[in-house]
């Protein structure tokens, strides 16, 4: 199913440092596992026989959660060796591979469902990644992913990082119409969005405490797509 693939040295070093610092602080998950699971539960498309690949899996937390509930064909891929090494030690029964999202080392038409969470915004070439995902998916495969809103994310990240250092990591923030256009151009047939309220503990910790009062009271599912903190995307090949 796989073969070794080279990754950009600069990106690998960047994310190895990020994971080194995070793991030293005891943080084994950089994304929002709770929201990812809520998104997947809202879409009954996964089956126990599905070949699932999570791109940008980090330490494999989501793959492990899927494995525990019966999805035994879930594979994780990331370029950060520190995260993968930690994950392999913690979850030796998982398949966690070093792989670049721009050049997926997977056979064409070999994957039923691709996943990614807090990943697309890190890419230098989003179009190339979407073409690669489309290539490795089976004829009616699905790409399920989440990526931050280009409007709201800079505000949240500037507060969280207390400056602009987040821009080194979030290189490709997106508008919803641009995402749809890119996915269709890459070969996907249909693209839709799911609204998931940003009310997980992970999300609420990112906003100042006075704003949390407003966050928990907003009617998120009735707000326009551009007002969401993240875009949850369903792309059918």
Domain with 211 in it: what CATH number? Answer: 3.40.50.150
* 135 burial via Cβ count (<10 Å: 0-12, 13-18, 19+): middle
Q: How many domains does the chain have?
A: 1
Asked, for residue 1, whether it belongs to a domain, the answer is no
| pLDDT value of position 160 | 65
Cross-strand bridge partners of residue 114: 53, 143
| pLDDT value of position 158 | 60
DSSP track, 38-56: HHHHTSTT--TT--EEEET
Reported in sequence order, the residue ranges of 88-209 that DSSP labels E, i.e. its strands, are 95-98, 111-117, 137-148, 190-194
Asked, for residue 169, whether it belongs to a domain, the answer is yes
| pLDDT value of position 112 | 97
Predicted confidence (pLDDT) per residue in 65-116, tens digit: 999 999 989 999 999 999 999 999 999 999 999 999 889 999 999 999 999 9
Asked, for residue 2, whether it belongs to a domain, the answer is no
| pLDDT value of position 166 | 54
Taking 50 as the pLDDT cut, the residues of the chain under it are 1-9
Q: Quick check: helix, strand or coil at residue 142?
A: strand
Asked, for residue 57, whether it belongs to a domain, the answer is yes
Claim: this prediction has a pTM higher than 0.75: yes
Asked, for residue 142, whether it belongs to a domain, the answer is yes
Look up the domain containing 56 and give its range: 9-236
């Amino acid at each position: 199913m796989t073969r070794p693939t080279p990754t950009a040295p600069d990106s690998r070093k960047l994310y190895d440092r990020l994971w080194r610092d995070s793991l030293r602080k005891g943080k084994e998950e950089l994304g929002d596992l709770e929201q990812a699971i809520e998104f997947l539960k809202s879409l009954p498309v996964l089956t126990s026989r599905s070949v699932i690949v999570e791109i940008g899996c980090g330490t494999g937390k989501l793959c492990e959660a899927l494995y525990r509930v019966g999805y035994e064909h879930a594979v994780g891929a990331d370029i950060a060796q520190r995260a993968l090494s930690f994950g392999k030690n913690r979850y030796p029964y998982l398949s966690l591979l070093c792989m670049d999202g721009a050049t997926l080392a997977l056979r064409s038409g070999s994957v039923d469902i691709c996943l990614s969470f807090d990943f697309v915004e890190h890419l230098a070439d989003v179009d190339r990644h979407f073409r690669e995902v489309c290539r490795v998916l089976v004829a009616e495969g699905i790409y399920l992913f989440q990526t931050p809103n280009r409007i709201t994310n800079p505000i949240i990240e500037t507060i969280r990082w207390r400056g602009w250092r987040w821009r080194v990591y979030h290189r490709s923030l997106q508008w919803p119409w641009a995402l749809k256009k890119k996915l269709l151009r890459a070969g996907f047939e249909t693209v839709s969005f799911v609204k998931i309220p940003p009310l997980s503990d992970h999300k609420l910790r990112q906003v100042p405490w006075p704003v949390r009062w407003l966050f928990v009271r907003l009617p998120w599912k009735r707000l326009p797509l551009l007002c969401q903190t993240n875009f949850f995307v369903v792309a059918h090949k």
